[in-house]
Structure 1
Amino acid sequence: MSTMSQSSAAARAVIVRDKWSGEVIGELPRAGEREIEQALQAAEQARRRPWPARERAAVLQRAVALLEERRTAVLETMRRETGFSRKDVEQEFARAVVTLTLCAQEALRLGGEVVPLDASPGFEQRLALTIRVPVGIVLAITPFNAPLNTVCHKIGPALAAGNAVILKPAELTPLTAALLAQILDEAGLPEGRLQVLYGSGSEVGLRLLRDPRIGFTTFTGSTEVGAIVKRETGLRPVSLELGSVSATIICADADLERAARDVAHAGYRKAGQVCTSVQSLFVHTSVEREFVERLSAQVAALKSGDPADPATEVGPLISESAAARACALVEEALRSGARVLVGGTCTGTLFQPTLLHEVAPPMRITREEIFAPVVSIVRFERLDEAIEAANASRYGLQAGVYTSSLATALELARRLEVGGVIINGTSSTRADGMPYGGMKDSGFGKEGPAYAIREMTVERLVMLGP
């Protein structure tokens, strides 16, 4: 693993602050043109050197062991640079261990297939097969809201496939990624296989996107920036995991206690800064009153405040500008007729867990991603109403459904225009081994090690003949 040279001017350092106290907790060298070019050259040289699958798997497995050894330091770094609660960072850490373990396993499973040729006259004496070869250099651009697990989901499959990787972590939360890179280095990662560059997306990210030596780009972030990624990469392949206004539907026959408990977690974990976080909650009128009472009690019980406090469940938002934007969306909804059941206030970056009622689909809060601890209840009478409202969104990442009817579950699985439909779970339900990705303005491509590793390789046909 290599990071950019420390010779860059200290004045251009990436300064990282504790998101609760504002204290400076780290400085990293900001990449300039010289460092970017050095990283690209090192990656280009590394990708041309043989790296057997067994060695790739061994490095990743050793990294898992080292990550678990450094658990305390990684958790503390992640908590401070994100502002997430202790429970949130512990959950992300546990998921990252699973993700890296799966990547190590996939390095040994990656293979091709035999291709039958007998259907074509004259090919009876020929044999064809496919092999998977690395794309070369993978560029991974990662978001602030999952500085460990999303990084693992991007660089893990890329390394498992035999690529060289250039990682550009979020400027607001790069310290966790730096620790992971150090762990991979100590695990025996060959020289040049991982370069980490720190800086802004508009400078470092854009320069890397335009470089033809990048063979594949994997990006998680906003839809607006995703469009820039696609534009700048031209014909080169990309995987985009973008924004969403995720819906969860509570049907008349739902288990209301279970649904309320799940939504109180999934709508407010990481202070709602999750692309699949429950934002629009469609509730059938026949159970609306009972469900709203149950959910209101659950949300009101959530403790917000200092993430260092073990009792805190909802910490601050990532920045004051993010908080101001969320406040504006809530205030606009209230002017349009929505009602606050719980929360609704914001002090600095601390946005109180908020539950809105009497929300209707025309409101902007049902159309734009809020990325804050806010859940909006939308009532429906006919299932078609909920489906049509959910599908009217320009996004399509995941949706949740609560029902005891198999017929209803199957109908919603077929009709909801999203990348994943979770039955009796919220939109934010995710196992790290499953294929994960969206459609429409939520992007395309799949995460999940077994699926991402295929996207980060080229399927090459080999035909043999006498």
Structure 2
Amino acid sequence: PAAATWAKPTRKGEPLTLEKTFTPVGRGVSLLIACNTFPTWNGYPGLFASLVTGNPVVVKPHPAAVLPLALSVRVARDVLAEAGFDPNTVLLAAEAPEDRVAATLATDPDVRIIDFTGSTGFGDWLEQHARQAAVHTEKAGLNTVVLDSTADYKGLLRNLAFSLSLYSGQMCTTPQNLYVPREGLATDQGVKTPEVFAADLADALGKLLGDPQRAAGTLGALTGEAVRARVDKARALGGTQFGGEPLAHPEYPEAVLRTPLVAVLDADRDAETYRTEWFGPISFVIATDSTARAVELLRETIAAHGALTASVHSTDEEVLEATREAALDAGVHLAENFTGQVFVNQTAAFSDYHGSQANPAASATLSDWAFVTGRFAVLQSRRPAVATQEATGA
């Protein structure tokens, strides 16, 4: 409420009465540090949450993706001016790749809110050094899939192949670690060992990406040299591998495309590899001693390194419940038995949560109330009602 009258009864005479007013006040300057893969999708929530709570916003786009947010800032400034506000309520602060504008602004005492999407390294730095601000980060982590059993093996493969391919795995929600029991995944087409499952997944990827036009539209290009180097590093791991091969873009011959790489690892022998984030079109089929061990690894790795998504495939309700409990312990959102046209990468606005403050991969959740309410304070003023009456001549 904007105003309220408060009264406290007394033993003698009139009650003590106060007139109170309540005014929401913005926290201060908001800094939006955007990513290069989804500059608008990841940028708009913080931009509008800050504006609606009364905070000016400095938009700092990624050097590799300036145009989308530059256009957005231009439109925002035009609309603000038309509505009678100072257009400088929204500003653009572009930088060259070698600049450190983001770090400089982030530690400025006047910056009181920060929204960041990007690398774990810089996100951790912001959380540690921008102590004067409320810092909302969305980083990345070890997105995990527990594969126990399924009644729709083809649907599982199709769904997972698309999830791994979308934007060449350059999404914070792309699965990386796929746990399969050594004795195999029980399916409607028989038991599939980790090696067989990996081969079947590679075949599903081949069918999805067999048409060059569809492959280009699904994969897009690799965003930079760091991702390309990471794919090459993964290929150098050796062992049983599928994919990771160059593709030609039918419209942009200079674009760099790679098919998703799927490598088979051992849960005991290769822990150092799969407990590391491999951002890009890289995923691991990891042989575990049992489904129970896979669930425990989900809990351990996500609690330690974070994740944006987790998935489980099982026809056993006890396994589903155990995985759900592990996901709650680890602080990650869970998708169960996705075999159709809904994918773990997708987040529906105002119906799904994106990110979790409960694990290291993010310090904010889109779009819960806390994402908005921390951007303003409600301040009150109080005065005796008698003084109000006297001032008005009543």
- TM-score normalised by length of structure 2: 0.75
Question: For each residue in 1:284-306, what CA deviation from the matched residue of structure 2 results, as whole angstroms up to 9, or x when unmatched?
Answer: 42333475454222111243898
CA contact (8 A) 1:253 1:404 kept: yes
1:56-455 counterparts in 2 under 5 A?
Answer: 132-188=24-80, 190=85, 191-199=87-95, 200=97, 203-253=100-150, 255-284=152-181, 285-287=184-186, 288-289=192-193, 291-292=197-198, 294-303=200-209, 309=213, 312=216, 313-332=218-237, 334=238, 338-340=239-241, 342-346=242-246, 349-360=256-267, 362-393=270-301, 394-397=304-307, 398-416=309-327, 417-425=330-338, 427-433=344-350, 434-438=352-356, 439-448=358-367, 450-455=369-374
CA contact (8 A) 1:435 1:451 kept: no
Q: Distance in 2 between matches of 1:127 and 1:343?
A: 70
Corresponding residue for residue 99 of structure 1: none
CA contact (8 A) 2:147 2:291 kept: no
CA contact (8 A) 1:246 1:276 kept: yes
Describe the shift of the 1:326–1:296 C-alpha distance in structure 2 as closer, same or farther (beyond 3 A). closer
CA contact (8 A) 2:30 2:55 kept: yes
Q: Distance in 2 between matches of 1:131 and 1:383?
A: 54
What is the identity, as a one-letter code, of the residue corresponding to 1:296? A
Shift of 1:264: 0.9
CA contact (8 A) 2:25 2:379 kept: yes
SS at match of 1:158: helix
Shift of 1:192: 1.5
SS at match of 1:301: helix
Shift of 1:169: 0.9
Describe the shift of the 1:297–1:206 C-alpha distance in structure 2 as closer, same or farther (beyond 3 A). same
Question: For each residue in 1:313-340, what CA deviation from the matched residue of structure 2 results, as whole angstroms up to 9, or x when unmatched?
Answer: 22331112321123113312x2xxx311
Question: For each residue in 1:96-120, what CA deviation from the matched residue of structure 2 results, as whole angstroms up to 9, or x when unmatched?
Answer: xxxxxxxxxxxxxxx89x9xxx9xx
What is the identity, as a one-letter code, of the residue corresponding to 1:343? G
Describe the shift of the 1:273–1:378 C-alpha distance in structure 2 as closer, same or farther (beyond 3 A). same
SS at match of 1:317: coil
Shift of 1:125: 8.3
**RMSD of aligned alpha carbons:** 3.5
Question: For each residue in 1:413-447, what CA deviation from the matched residue of structure 2 results, as whole angstroms up to 9, or x when unmatched?
Answer: 22121331222346534223233223443131222
What is the identity, as a one-letter code, of the residue corresponding to 1:136? G
Describe the shift of the 1:374–1:170 C-alpha distance in structure 2 as closer, same or farther (beyond 3 A). same
What is the identity, as a one-letter code, of the residue corresponding to 2:267? A
CA contact (8 A) 2:296 2:326 kept: no
Q: Distance in 1 between matches of 2:381 and 2:318?
A: 45
- TM-score normalised by length of structure 1: 0.65
Question: For each residue in 1:42-74, what CA deviation from the matched residue of structure 2 results, as whole angstroms up to 9, or x when unmatched?
Answer: xxxxxxxxxxxxxxxxxxxxxxxxxxxxxxxxx
Shift of 1:241: 1.1
Question: For each residue in 1:175-203, what CA deviation from the matched residue of structure 2 results, as whole angstroms up to 9, or x when unmatched?
Answer: 11112222323444631121111114852
Shift of 1:358: 3.9
Describe the shift of the 1:325–1:134 C-alpha distance in structure 2 as closer, same or farther (beyond 3 A). same
CA contact (8 A) 2:198 2:262 kept: no
What is the identity, as a one-letter code, of the residue corresponding to 1:345? E
Corresponding residue for residue 251 of structure 2: none
Q: Distance in 2 between matches of 1:386 and 1:310?
A: 34
What is the identity, as a one-letter code, of the residue corresponding to 2:136? S
Shift of 1:351: 2.3
Matched pairs, number: 344
SS at match of 2:168: helix
SS at match of 2:111: coil
CA contact (8 A) 1:329 1:365 kept: no
